[in-house]
Amino acid sequence: MISTHNLSSLPNIDALKKLLQSMAMLDAILMPEWTYRYYSFNAHWSKNEQMGSMRNGSGDDFYALFNEAGCFLKGFVHDAPIIPYRDQSPQIFPNILENVPAAFEECLHEPAFKMTDTTFCIWRRYSDNNWQQDKMKLQSGNDFDGSMSLLSPLDGSPKTYKIWAEEYYERSVNLKAITAIYTHTTLSQELIDMLNDDLSLDDLQKDCDEIGYPSTSIIVA
């Protein structure tokens, strides 16, 4: 299971970005209403940045910012044991954000990321061989910082998404279609029909554009 205790199975920067785009595309097909989606991706977050996110509607979320340097990811689980406050003013567990590289400094001040709500933070530059985090001592067991619950679905396995999606959306989800989207197969009407035959390619074109996912439709300005 992926967590801050074991990040070895978390995909590298480019693979993670591709994975989050795939998961966002799948969610867009399975759930047309954006409000109820779990995963989202904005390929046009800024001129040189892209951003993937997850939110479960219960107060837990993560934000993954991709820029020319690499990837910065912060997460928050509202009932994680690491949270040092319950009925007090919000405060971050000591040292979680102490050594974030300068390349990701702006992330620490991004209002959309709600940095005061942080239970774990990891990053990886293209010059790094592995995912990094602050050298802090975390208690083992019981998913102390909530990272296991949010990061484990990011193992890159279509079967992992299938198990999660069928529970979350309470419907059968075609594994072949998931696998195709995980490999960024160009979105076609045939592929959409395998997941949701109530939608057309035109219905999803804006989502494809926002996510940065390839499709067979071409919008003429």
Give the per-residue pLDDT at 190. 97
CA distances from 75 to 6, 28, 71, 130 (A): 16, 22, 13, 18
Give the per-residue pLDDT at 142. 73
- Other beta carbons within 10 Å of 76: 25
Give the per-residue pLDDT at 65. 98
Give the per-residue pLDDT at 88. 56
Mean pLDDT by 10 residues, the chain (221 residues): 94 99 98 94 96 94 98 94 63 82 96 93 97 76 87 98 96 98 97 97 97 75 36
Strand ranges inside 13-138, DSSP E? 39-46, 49-55, 61-66, 70-76, 120-125
Please give the distance of CA 92 from its chain centroid, rounded to a whole number.
21
Q: Which helix (H) or strand (E) holds 191?
A: helix 189-193
Residue pointed to by tokens 């689980």: 77
Give the per-residue pLDDT at 143. 86
Whether 178 and 158 have beta carbons less than 8 Å apart is answered as yes
